[in-house]
Every structure is written in C-alpha cells, then in structure tokens.
A and B are shown apart, each in its own frame.
Chain A
C-alpha cells in the first residue's frame, strides 16, 4: 500500500515546527513515530499534503524526574521510557504499561506524545495520564497553554488540541514514595489493543487505603477516569468485597463498542476483572 503524495518537512526547532504548521494550514500533519499515522495514510484515511516530522526537535526528547514532578517530552519513545531507571524508580507503572504496548520494533519509534495526542481510545497511555492527573502542555502560534489529561479527550480521535498546536510535554506530580501500582491489560495477542485495561495507583497506610486513582483503556470512545470507583477504595482495607464494589462502579461508567475483541457485555465484564486484578496487585505492591 502506497500512501498519497505529500511534501516532507523536518524542522529542527519547536518554533520552526509551529511556524510550519501555521503557514501550511490544515493540510499539514505532524508525525512523531508514525506508527498510527502511516497505517492511516496507507489506507488513505489520512491524506496530508504536508508532513512535519518532529524527530529533530531535541527539546521534545527529555525525561525529567524530581521529587515533586515528572516531566516527559513528547518525542520520548516507548523504548526510552522503558529504559529510564530513574523514571522507573519514581513511577513504575509507566514501564509496566509501555512493555504492554505493541512490540519491540514499534516501541523503538512510537512516542509517548503520539500515544496521548492521537486520541485513539485503544492507546494505553491516555488512561495512565488521566489516572496520574497529568497535565499536557500545548505550544502554538499564540504561545503555550496547559490542559488536564482528564479534560483533553472529547471523542475517538477528537481532542482539545487545535490544528496549529503541538503537544510538547506531559507532566504530573511524582507519585508518593511507597505507592502501589498496576496496569492490567487483557489483549488477544502481543501487539493488540486492549479488550479492556485498568490502571491503578494507590497508597496504603496502616492497612488502610489512603488515596487511589483508577484509569480505564478502550472501554469507551475516550479514556476514562473512574473517580467514583477509586472513592470506594479510599478508607477501606482493600478487602475483596470492597474491591468488587469498586470494580462494579468502574464498569458502570464504561461504554465499549462491539468489535473483534468481543461483545459489549464481555468487554464490560473484562473491564471489571482488570480493575479487580489491578487493585489487588497495587495493594500488594504498596508499602
């Protein structure tokens, strides 16, 4: 399959990239790792006249971890994210999640920015970022603005990013030391999108859950932050009955589509199981 024709641009700075997007208008698309866009171009579902490749924009490639905040440049690849021991020590759910995305070759090119910005409900990182309460930084011709991951996703492939904007950075508060975490993803085979997946971070003190947050992947046309379900866990001893109640509360907000991964009822059921497993594993890991 040969994609349609386009002009190729490779700016070397963020300002140049923003300038190109402004001058080329809506016929231009950004390419990061390309593993979502190029398949769409092969199918002619995307037919940009111009492709703006961000690979030379060095300012989008850093991972910064400090005691209070973690910040990830949009062009950090999944493989780089997996390889960062500093990041893993501070926020281990990211490596656990990346390792469940696609396969080694694709993780060498696929980026964190592309994963969250594309708006594909099948992508794993958006639910993680909603669960972590992350903020996205968008740069455009009018300067930069910030938007919460929980407000970013409008519908499948529709996000709050404007055409002329570039998602540059993802930042979030460093999770409390000793927190428990888990990303549980049911998929048919390696490389597949989730039938349903659940992301959990929680803290436990004296056997009681102090804080909890839950994100859900691919069970609606946007990622979901299961606020009510997490609320059920807080104050509990994370016993089996409470975990089940929380899972039911999470399932209640899902609205999956019928697809090759199974009927709606099945996918809802799996979502509940993923929440139960993720909470149980996170509870076990919490210190």
Chain B
C-alpha cells in the first residue's frame, strides 16, 4: 500500500514526512518522532496512557490513524513544560504531591489534565474525577492525582491573576 504524505505540527514544530496509512498516531509519535512520552497501555482505547492533545482536544492516540491526524496540531507530554525546562504547574504538582507511583499513566494523566484545566479552569473534585475518567491508574487510587490537579488549578489561577 502506498505511503501518504504527513504534515502536522507536533509540540510547535512543523513535521513533514510520509507514513504507511495503517500507522497509528501513537506509533508515529513514538517510533517515527521519538516522542516516547505518550505510552501504549491497553492499546484498546480504555486506559488513556496514550492521550495527546489534537487540535485542542484530548484524544487517545492508539485509536487514531496517522492520516486522520494529518494537518493537526498535536501536543504531547514533551511539549507541556516551558522551552527552558521549567515544569508546567501540573508537572510540578504531580511531583510535589505524589501524583504518581510507577509513572506509567502519568503522561496521559497530565496531558488530559492540561486540556481539562483549559476547558474548566476551576473544576470541582467531581469534575476532575469525571474529566479524567478515560485515564486509568493502577497504583495510586487516584487520590493524589486528583489532589495534584486541584493544586495545579489553584496555582494556574493565581498565576493568571498575577499577570
């Protein structure tokens, strides 16, 4: 089968290449682009470890063909910190508040929370739990993940108020 031309923006960088149409977005990101932050957990669109931001919406990149993402603006966990390496408020909050144990779900959790806090900057605990309902964690019991997102939300709103 013939390769297709791929043009997309990944973490602010224009990418122009070709790919076999059957390549899933997660494989394209990990294997062609060496962005191994998004993980392959269940590979069946349940666990959310592969979550990336596509055109301003959270999606599960294990269930998107690379061609479907053609022309899109993609943000992965690698694109969330500032260029100088300063962590995003979510990354800092997960780090400070034990928002992870093994860390496998963390890129998906943070990428999802990154979009959630843009859609709803001051979510209630219930809204956070509902907002991350497509992301599974098998270690933490979610308590510290929810707490980390709450603290990051506060941090971000303080930051915004200061600006």
Q: Are B67 and A104 in contact (CB under 8 A)?
A: no
Asked if A5 and B22 sit within 8 Å, CB to CB, the answer is: yes
Are the C-beta atoms of B21 and A8 separated by less than 8 Å? Answer: yes
Q: Find out whether the CB atom of A10 lies under 8 angstroms from the CB atom of B67.
A: yes
Chain B 18-46 interface mask (CB, 8 Å, partner A; 1/0)? 00111010010000000000000001111
- Whether a CB of chain B sits under 8 angstroms from the CB of A106 is yes
The answer for the CA separation of A42 and B42 in the assembled complex, in Å, is 12
Which of these, A7, A34, A108, A191, contacts B57 with CB under 8 Å?
A108
Q: With A35-B63, A105-B60 known to touch, is A5 a contact of B1 (CB < 8 Å)?
A: yes
The proximity string for B residues 125-161 relative to A, scoring 1 for CB distances below 8 Å and 0 otherwise, is 0000011011000000000000000000000000000
Chain B stretch 51-91: residues in CB contact (< 8 A) with chain A: 51, 57-60, 63-65, 67-68, 70
Q: Given A105-B51, A106-B45, verify A7-B59 contact (CB < 8 Å).
A: no
The interface of chain A, by Cβ under 8 A from chain B, is 1-8, 10, 31, 34-35, 38-39, 42, 51, 53, 55, 79, 102-106, 108-109, 190-191
B residues near A4, Cβ cutoff 8 Å: 22
Q: In the complex, A5 Cα to B110 Cα: how many Å?
A: 33
> Counting CB contacts under 8 A, is B4 at the interface?
yes
Judge whether B48 is part of the interface by a CB distance below 8 angstroms: yes
On whether A38 and B63 interact (CB within 8 A), knowing A6-B1, A191-B134, the answer reads yes
Contact A105 B48 (CB under 8 A): yes
Cα-based distance from A190 to B70 in the complex (angstroms): 30
A residues near B22, Cβ cutoff 8 Å: 2-6
21 sample A-B contacts, Cβ–Cβ < 8 Å, listed by A number: A3-B22, A4-B22, A7-B2, A7-B21, A8-B4, A10-B67, A34-B63, A34-B65, A38-B45, A39-B45, A51-B67, A53-B67, A103-B133, A104-B130, A105-B51, A105-B60, A108-B58, A108-B59, A109-B59, A190-B134, A191-B133
A38 in contact with B65 (CB, 8 Å):
yes
Residues of B within 8 A of A (CB): 1-2, 4, 20-22, 24, 27, 43-46, 48, 51, 57-60, 63-65, 67-68, 70, 112, 116, 130-131, 133-134
Q: Give the CA-CA distance A210 to B126 in the complex, in Å.
A: 37
Q: Does the CB pair B46–A191 fall under 8 Å?
A: yes
Question: Closest A-chain residue to B68, C-beta based?
Answer: A53
Cα A190 to Cα B43 with chains together (Å): 17
Enumerate chain B residues within 8 angstroms of A10, measured Cβ to Cβ: 67, 70
CA distance A69 to B98 in the complex (A): 52
A145 to B: closest C-beta gap in Å: 29
The reply to whether B134 and A102 form a contact with Cβ atoms under 8 Å apart is yes
Give the shortest distance, in Å, between A176 (CB) and chain B (any CB). 31
Complex Cα distance, B57 from A51, in Å, reads 23
Residue on A nearest B56 in the bound complex, by CB: A108
A103 in contact with B1 given A3-B22, A35-B45, A108-B57 (CB within 8 Å): no
Complex contacts, B68 vs chain A, CB 8 Å:
31, 34, 53, 55
Residues of A within 8 A of B112 (CB): 104-105
B134 touches which one: A2, A7, A106 (CB < 8 A)? A106
A6–B24 CB distance below 8 A: no
Closest Cβ neighbor of B55 among chain A residues: A108
Complex: A190 Cα to B46 Cα, angstroms: 10
Q: When chains A and B are docked, how far (Å) is the Cα of A88 from the Cα of B133?
A: 23
- Which residue, of B2, B57, B65, B112, has the highest number of chain A Cβ atoms within 10 A? B65
Q: Which residues of B contact A79 (CB under 8 A)?
A: 57
* Chain B residues near A104 (CB-CB < 8 A): 58, 112, 116, 130-131, 133-134
Q: Which residues of B contact A51 (CB under 8 A)?
A: 21, 65, 67
Asked if B1 contacts A105 (CB within 8 A), the reply is no
Contacts of A6 in B (CB 8 A): 1, 21-22
Determine the distance from Cα of A38 to Cα of B25 in the docked complex, in whole angstroms: 12
Are B70 and A34 interface neighbours, CB within 8 A?
A: no
> Which residues of B have CB within 8 Å of A42?
43-44
B21 with A103: CB separation less than 8 A: no
